[in-house]
Amino acid sequence: MLNTNLKHLNPATLSLLDQLRPWKVNQCRKSFPFLLLLSAPVFATSTDSRQFVEMPPEARATLRAEMLENQLALHLIISALAENRFAEAGDIVEKEMGISTMGKHRKLPQNARPGRFMPNEMHAIGRGSHVAASDFAKLANEAGPNDLPKLLAALQNVTGACIACHRGYRTR
């Protein structure tokens, strides 16, 4: 359940989540406990309170391509974890989402670089997701056979950032 999951997030991610205006989990839980139990991460408030972030179409296209890569990476990570291939999961995370990937759009034209158009708070969530990814990668590379729960908890810091940003911002 969402509440239990949140306990595992590191303090940095939790404070990011706290800062987000649409993050009204407690209110939602009071009104719709059963619904939330079934679909916690996809539960949305009835009006869209995400902040609109205007970007040129080129920047949106870059962001979208990156997002689809993120989604695929997450799928591959879970597959690797399920088969106890921990180091491989770590390598995927670092290569696709880790700190080493920050600034990879630097060579693109200005209007195709999404980071430039993000408000500070949104950008901070993005940077936080790279840090969480590298933390996970490090843990995964050192993990022993019984460390799956620890790795899953660390992976929640990565998925927590996806949720924090998606619940806070929209680009269209």
Cα 159 to the chain's mean position, in Å? 4
Q: 106 φ, ψ to 5°?
A: -60, -30
Q: 22 or 29, CB closer to ligand HEC? A: 22
Contacting residues toward ligand HEC, per CB under 6 A: 63-64, 67-68, 70-71, 74, 122, 125-126, 129, 158, 161-162, 165-166, 169-172
CB of 102 to ligand HEC, least distance (A): 12
Residues 98/137, Cβ–Cβ less than 8 Å = yes
Q: 33 or 103, CB closer to ligand HEC? A: 103
Q: 29 or 153, CB closer to ligand HEC? A: 153
CB of 151 to ligand HEC, least distance (A): 15
Per DSSP, which regions of the chain are E strands?
51-52, 169-170
CB of 121 to ligand HEC, least distance (A): 9
Tokens 């990565």, residue? 158
Count Cβ atoms below 10 Å from residue 154 Cβ, excluding itself.
24
